[in-house]
């Protein structure tokens, strides 16, 4: 995929750089937009591959820090909100005490949530995306729910494999969910598809926590 994008990118650049070609302003703008999108896709692919390599080669224990559980969801929501198209409603729900402070790795959790939320936007053309937070005595659960077409129960593990795409017409590398699960494993968490949810797709991130003293 990256080779195809590179070739296409090179072709667009050559067209724009050729002085003898008279290109209407509208077409020039379209080519420029495609170049920017291709550049973004290449950057995403490289970043994802570097992240996978780092996750597989670095076996050190991720550092923990104290932070309010609610802030984990709020931070992820704020970073994602501007990327939500106007056709969708983005909601957050917190079912924990506002003063609950835990010891975990918020940066790695946020990376997981950004992958899950980006995946939800790709497959949800209308309706809503919901980011929810729950807790128990030993863990917190963060769920990402959407009102898209959903994922068949028999694909619940397949979707976490590398370069997996259930819909080839949807842009993407097929690495997002795989990376999200790799990161979850690094922090001793579990990331699963809730096959009982029938209104779209629902992913549950269950994280063991150390309560701050």
Task: Residue 118: give its domain's CATH number.
Answer: 3.30.565.10
81 and 43 fall within a common domain: no
Q: Specify the pLDDT at position 103.
A: 87
pLDDT for residue 75 is more than 50: yes
CA 162 – CA 212 distance, rounded (Å): 36
Q: Specify the pLDDT at position 4.
A: 42
Q: Specify the pLDDT at position 117.
A: 96
94 and 192 fall within a common domain: yes
CA 128 – CA 120 distance, rounded (Å): 9
| Structural domain ending residue among the three candidates 22, 39, 57 | 57
Residue with tokens 């994802």: 48
- CA nearest neighbour of 187 among 80, 116, 112, 135: 112
By residue range, what is the domain housing residue 26?
2-57
38 and 127 fall within a common domain: no
- Choose the weakest-confidence range: 41-45, 96-100, 125-129: 41-45
DSSP per residue over the chain, as a string?
-HHHHHHHHHHHHHHHH-TT----HHHHHHHHHHHHHHHHHHHHHHHHHHHHHHHHH--SPPP-EEEEHHHHHHHHHHHHHTTS-TTEEEEEEE-S-TT-EEEE-HHHHHHHHHHHHHHHHHH-SSEEEEEEEEE-SSEEEEEEEE-SS---GGGTTGGGSTT--S-TTS-S-S-HHHHHHHHHHHTT-EEEE-TT--SS-EEEEEEE-EE--
106 and 22 fall within a common domain: no
Find the mean pLDDT for residues 125-133: 95
21 and 108 fall within a common domain: no
103 and 177 fall within a common domain: yes
126 and 170 fall within a common domain: yes
What confidence tier does 53 reach under pLDDT thresholds 50, 70, 90? Answer: confident
| Structural domain ending residue among the three candidates 57, 74, 95 | 57
| Structural domain ending residue among the three candidates 32, 57, 82 | 57
Domain count, the chain: 2
Find the mean pLDDT for residues 123-137: 93
What confidence tier does 182 reach under pLDDT thresholds 50, 70, 90? Answer: very high
Q: Specify the pLDDT at position 2.
A: 43
Q: Specify the pLDDT at position 25.
A: 67
44 and 107 fall within a common domain: no
37 and 120 fall within a common domain: no
53 and 96 fall within a common domain: no
CA 93 – CA 79 distance, rounded (Å): 16
Q: Specify the pLDDT at position 16.
A: 47
46 and 91 fall within a common domain: no
What confidence tier does 29 reach under pLDDT thresholds 50, 70, 90? Answer: low
148 and 203 fall within a common domain: yes
Long-range contacts of 106-110 (CB under 8 A, 24+ apart): 106/65, 106/67, 106/71, 106/72, 106/75, 108/62, 108/183, 108/186, 108/187, 109/72, 109/76, 109/142, 109/187, 109/205, 109/207, 110/72, 110/75, 110/76, 110/79
Q: Specify the pLDDT at position 38.
A: 65
């Amino acid at each position: 995929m990256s080779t195809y994008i590179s070739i296409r990118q090179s072709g667009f650049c050559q067209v724009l750089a050729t002085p003898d070609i008279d290109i209407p302003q509208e077409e020039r703008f379209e080519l420029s937009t495609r170049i920017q999108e291709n550049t973004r896709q290449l950057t995403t692919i490289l970043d994802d591959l570097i992240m996978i390599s780092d996750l597989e080669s670095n076996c050190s224990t991720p550092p923990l820090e104290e932070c309010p559980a609610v802030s984990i969801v709020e931070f992820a929501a704020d970073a994602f909100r501007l990327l939500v198209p106007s056709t969708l409603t983005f909601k957050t729900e917190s079912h924990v005490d506002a003063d609950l402070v835990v010891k975990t790795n918020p940066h790695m959790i946020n990376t997981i949530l950004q992958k899950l939320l980006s995946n939800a936007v790709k497959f949800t053309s209308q309706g809503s995306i919901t980011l929810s937070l729950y807790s128990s005595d030993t863990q917190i659960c963060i769920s990402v729910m959407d009102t898209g077409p959903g994922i068949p129960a028999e694909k619940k593990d397949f979707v976490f494999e590398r370069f997996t795409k259930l819909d080839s017409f949807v842009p993407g590398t097929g690495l997002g969910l795989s990376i999200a699960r790799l990161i979850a494993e690094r922090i001793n968490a579990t990331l699963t598809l809730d096959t009982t949810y029938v209104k779209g797709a629902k992913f549950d991130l269950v994280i063991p926590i150390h309560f701050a003293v």
